[in-house]
Amino acid sequence: MKLSVVTRMIIGFAVLFVLICVLAWIGEQTVTHVTNQEDIVVHRLLPMTEETNQLSGILLSSSRLVGLYTNASKSPERQRLKARHDQLKNVYQSTVQSLLHNAKSYPVMAQPLRDIQPLADKVFSVADQLMDLHEKLLNNKQQVQQLHQTYLSDWAYFKDDAQSVNDSVNSSQHWLTSSLMSTGISIQRMLNKAFYENDPQKVKQELSVIHSYIKSFNSKFNQLKDNVGQASDDLAPYAQSLQSLTAPQGLLAKMKQVGIFSSEQAALFGQLNQVIDHTLSIVREAHQRLSQISAEVAKQTQANVESSRWWMVTGVVVSLILAILVGINLVQSIRDPLKRTLSHIQRMVAGDYSQQLTIKRMDEFGLISTQLNELTVQLNQIVRSIIDDASLLEKQAEDGVQACDHTRELMSTQSQKTETVANNMQLMAEQVREVSQQADASGELVTSVTEQTREGRAAIQQTLSMTTQLQEMMTDIVGQMSALQARSQDIGSIVDVIENISEQTNLLALNAAIEAARAGDHGRGFAVVADQVRHLATQTQSSTQEILQVIQTLQSQSEKSVQMIQTGQQMTQECVEQVNRNDSTLQSIAEQLNTTQQYSEQIMEQARQALAVVNDVSEHSQQIVHLSQQADHEASVQQDGSVALKDRSEQQLRRMDQFKLA
């Protein structure tokens, strides 16, 4: 047995509903995955990228603060720079801890970050040593400056005193005093030169020369003192000044210590630059690995989106094909049998009962065809019986007219004929009664068919409701795809933020290059670092542009998916309109059945009228039997009645000629 029309419609729309649910599930999974990838980028990778860039900035800022600290001359400014450096140290440590926490999900990032921690401690340790050493250097320089001022004040009149001694001694001692004065002047000149010299090695050489001059001066002074005695007392303070100059805490010792501190400071600066370069290389490595992770995440996201898009396109195509097949099947299963049924009803309305519907299947239309065939057979029998009765009635009416013409001659046989007529009238009454009963049955059958038509309309209304729900679900899917497109635009905004960060990093590198240029030879390492940072910023901007292109592709595909789903929604609307047209067709069938029922009622009314006439004729026949004495008078009345009955019979036959029987 084939499936009914309603069952086919329910199964078809159930399959469509399942496919739409699968499409909705795929869309939801796609949105969930994109949201998860966005969470990874926004809450993990993006903060890690910012913190990695922040590490480079902190290292460069630390080096710059150390350089500014060594060039600062005022103590408040150095204290302020020292406080800022301590703050950078704390920020650096918290940033590294945050990176380690965020890198737990990425083992490839753990090793570079673990290597950064001891290097960072060493950087800040060397920076602290530099600052402490610079404080000692400043203290020694202050002491050297004070001792140098004391020395200058003590030796301000050396030349005059030496000339006075030279004038007071014998000419044989002039060479000694002149040599002593020349040695003292050389000491002054070399001491001033060493005081203003910045190269520790040259200072060391000049201090060695000063020591040799001092030894020569002391030797010559002792010789002069032995030769002239008290005449050399004016030069004794200068000899004592030279002794304090060479003391362990004297000017020469302090100047030597300043040179040692300067050498250590230069060495620590070199060590600091090496450690910073090494640390920055590890930071760059971590940044590269982070970029690889971001690229892998973007690649995975793209692959998942492409897979989801493929499944959604396949589902939409399958849904469209299935919807077309279901629509074609429904149209064919309704249109052809409905057309045959309507044509048969139109033939019945025209009075053609000679044909029957061919029953090809046992669904709703098969049942309707079966009932209509039975109705056709019954109506055919009823009409044929009415025609036979009308023909018989016409013949009997003619006999009655002839009997009236020969009533006097056939009076003897009238009673017998009248009795025969009465019997025939009773038989006719029974047949007319049967016609009336069959007409009642026909009316009930039409009523049943009308009820089934109402049930068919109810089923179509249910189908219309399900189609409307399908349309609403398609609208929800359009909303979800629009939400996916909005989320893709949000990701584009995040990529813009990353691009702005790259531009700011580039500006930071440019500022570092400017600071390195100001620092001179000490800033060459900073210049290299600034170039590397600018290079990294350029790479970041390039990667950001590639990510932006991927996001734009995702947005374009989302728009295409929304358009395809909207096309499906339009087809669903066309299905709703087709169901409404089918409902109108069933309404037309119901109206035709109402017309058929009206004809059946007319047939019943005519049968009742015929029954009344037959009863009337029977009563007259009985009166003829009992009132044969009034035959002459009643013969004329009977003749009139027979003529009228003949006219009625002819009229009935003309009506029956409109029907075409099998």
Q: Transcribe 206-260 into DSSP letters.
A: HHHHHHHHHHHHHHHHHHHHHHHGGGGGGGHHHHHHHHHHTSTTSHHHHHHHHHH
Tell me what the pLDDT averaged over the chain comes to.
74
CA 415 to chain CA mean position, Å: 105
**CA nearest 43: which of 303, 300, 307, 297?**
297
| Three-state SS at 368 | helix
Considering the domain 353-656, what is its CATH architecture?
A: Orthogonal Bundle (1.10)
Beta bridge partners, 660, equal: 352
In sign, the C-alpha dihedral spanning 18, 19, 20, 21 is: positive
- For 1-111, strand residue ranges (E) read none
Predicted pLDDT of residue 397 = 62
Q: How many CB atoms lie within 10 A of CB 421?
A: 24
Q: How many helices (H) and strands (E) does the chain have?
A: 13, 0
- Could you tell me the pLDDT band of residue 1, with boundaries at 50, 70 and 90? very low
CA 600 to chain CA mean position, Å: 66
- Could you tell me the pLDDT band of residue 339, with boundaries at 50, 70 and 90? confident
Specify whether the CB–CB gap between 543 and 295 falls below 8 A: yes
Specify whether the CB–CB gap between 655 and 605 falls below 8 A: no
Q: What integer is the mean pLDDT of 476-489? A: 69
- Say how far apart CA 241 and CA 252 lie, in whole Å: 12
Per DSSP, the residues of 374-427 read HHHHHHHHHHHHHHHHHHHHHHHHHHHHHHHHTTTTTHHHHHHHHHHHHHHHHH
Give the model confidence (pLDDT) of 265-278 as tens digits.
Answer: 888 888 888 888 88
Predicted pLDDT of residue 42 = 47
Q: What integer is the mean pLDDT of 230-237? A: 78
- Say how far apart CA 443 and CA 593 lie, in whole Å: 10
Give CA separation, 568 vs 29, 485, 488, 575, in Å: 21, 19, 24, 11
Rounded to the nearest 5 degrees, what angle is found at the Cα of 82, between the Cα atoms of 81 and 88?
90
Predicted pLDDT of residue 568 = 67
- Say how far apart CA 569 and CA 467 lie, in whole Å: 10
- How large a percentage of the chain has pLDDT more than 90? 0
- For 519-591, strand residue ranges (E) read none
pLDDT greater than 50 at residue 202: yes
pTM score, two decimals? 0.39
Residues contacting residue 73 through CB under 8 Å, at least 6 positions apart: none
Q: What integer is the mean pLDDT of 190-201? A: 81
| Residue extents of the structural domains in the chain | 145-257, 353-656
Q: What integer is the mean pLDDT of 394-410? A: 67
Give CA separation, 279 vs 201, 284, 406, 440, 593, in Å: 31, 9, 147, 107, 96
